[in-house]
């Protein structure tokens, strides 16, 4: 029974980590292209990032930060974090696991050759 519960939890963690990964990537793509963002149905980076997370309760937290890399290219980092509830309480692990993913995308120029 214990091995069955471990297998179920591992499969669920894998499934939801893929969702969190997709959310971070989608948020980074939205944040990195100001022209496409103006034409998008989403109002913010958070809305774009959580589009794939409609069934996660409570909603994951989304944070976005920009910067400049070593080659002086601007980028956006979007981090999505969610507290995943496990089926059972495991020793040394507890009853939940934090799933977090950060995706980075270079900011697209506003015009060609910018």
- Mean pLDDT per 10-residue interval, the chain, length 114 residues: 85 94 95 85 93 90 94 94 85 83 90 61
Range of the domain at 58: 2-106
Do you know the residue count of the chain? 114
Q: Does 22 map to a domain?
A: yes
- Interatomic CA distance for residues 74 and 84, integer angstroms: 32
Q: Does 86 map to a domain?
A: yes
- Enter the pTM of the model: 0.84
Q: Does 37 map to a domain?
A: yes
Q: Residue 60: helix, strand or coil by DSSP?
A: coil
Q: Does 85 map to a domain?
A: yes
Q: Does 65 map to a domain?
A: yes
- Long-range residue pairs from 72-75, CB within 8 A, at least 24 positions apart, any chain: 73/106, 73/107, 74/106, 74/107, 75/32, 75/104, 75/105, 75/106, 75/107
pLDDT at 18: 96
Per the structure, how many domains does the chain have? 1
Assess whether the previous peptide bond of 96 is cis (omega < 30° from 0).
no
């Amino acid at each position: 029974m214990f091995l069955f519960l471990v297998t179920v939890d591992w499969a669920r963690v894998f499934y939801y980590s893929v969702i969190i990964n997709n959310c971070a990537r989608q948020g980074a793509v939205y944040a990195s292209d100001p022209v496409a963002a103006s034409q998008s149905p989403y109002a913010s980076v958070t809305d774009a990032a959580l589009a794939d997370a409609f069934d996660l309760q409570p909603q994951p937290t989304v944070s976005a930060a920009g910067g400049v890399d070593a080659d002086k290219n601007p980028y956006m980092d979007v981090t999505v974090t969610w507290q995943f509830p496990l089926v059972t309480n495991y020793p040394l692990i507890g009853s939940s696991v934090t799933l977090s993913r950060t995706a980075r995308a270079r900011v697209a120029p506003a015009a060609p050759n910018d």
